[in-house]
A = this chain, B = another copy of it.
Amino acid sequence: MSLLTVGSVAFDVLETPFGKTGKILGGAATYITLAASYFTQKNNLVAIVGDDFPQSMRSVLENRGINTEGVEVRKGEKTFYWSGKYHDNMNVRDTVEVQLNVMGDFDPQIPKSFQGAKYLMLGNTSPTIQKSVLDRLHKRPKLVMLDTMNLWIENTYDDLRTVLREVDILTINDEEARMLSKEYSLRKAAKIILEMGPKMLIIKKGEHGALLFHGKNVFFAPALPLEEVFDPTGAGDTFAGGFIGYLAESDDLSFENLKRALIYGSAMASFCVEKFGVERIVNLTREEIEERVSEFVKLSVFQLV
């Protein structure tokens, strides 16, 4: 089934204890669509860049079969820029610099050929932008997934609540779930958030895995304990992309299949952190992915006697 992703494409400059990059390809929608590309063939992207965005980076997406017809190039303007620095244990990250540039007035236009998407991923942008995408689709997708962040919860709470009413799956991290629900217990937080609109909630806990809540069902996907986390940038988006890509490919929304999608998402995220930026997720094979998934089976499946 077709997947439509709307979100940021960016230049990132990353510094970790392992080194520093130049300007590399980044942005939530980049990671999402790259991860999804291993599953779904119809992978449509709506984003915005400046005319400083090089063809070489656009090719990284196109080489993975991502349709970039919806990537607007704003003449005379600059691409969204973010630079960040990770500290020793990779758990603390400082934003060094943000230049919104073209993202400042991103007004996503949906190409005609992208209409009718069955699966929609609203990457982390303002709730107003996210809502406008829903309003511009002629037909509601079968599944709408939305990612957001602390900034929007704090500054545009009402707008966020409005768009949440139209969403099937919300994906946020544990801190954001606590912030949005005003509850520390994630179980209680999930209950409150599921009353705001979304039928399903994914709480990402980084190196501690991810929880999926759906009605009374709860499923937990661990993160793979890795020898080395090289660069955590984009891991959450890669997870989301693997998850929704797997769903779009299988087109099965049973809880059993949602569990599998969560595991595939976690597997994709485990690759992402092994190298800088998107480096590790641009030329994987499906065999490598299946092998990684089998590590998750070993890691978490047990049988009672």
Contact = CB atoms under 8 A, between A and B. Distances in A.
A218 B296 CA distance: 10
Interface residues of A, number: 35
A228 interface: yes
A298 interface: yes
A290 B213 CA distance: 23
A300 interface: yes
Contacts of A226: 185, 187
Contacts of A182: none
Contact of A218 (B185, B208, B225, B305): B225
Interface string A223-235: 0011111000000
A4 B300 CA distance: 30
Interface stretch (A60-68, A152-160, A256-264): A256-264
A299 B220 contact: yes
Given A218-B299, A301-B301, A304-B297, A211 B225 contact: yes
A260 B185 CA distance: 27
B220 A300 contact: yes
Interface string A70-95: 00000000000000000011000000
Contacts of A88: 184
A300 to B, nearest CB: 5
Nearest to A303: B256
Interface in A205-262: 205, 208-209, 211, 217-220, 222, 225-229, 256, 259-260
Contact of A225 (B186, B298, B302): B186
Contact of A209 (B222, B297, B305): B222
Given A220-B300, A263-B302, 16 more contacts: A88-B184, A185-B229, A187-B225, A188-B227, A188-B228, A211-B225, A218-B225, A218-B298, A219-B299, A220-B299, A222-B222, A222-B300, A260-B305, A300-B300, A301-B301, A301-B302
6 contacts: A185-B229, A205-B208, A219-B300, A259-B302, A297-B304, A301-B301
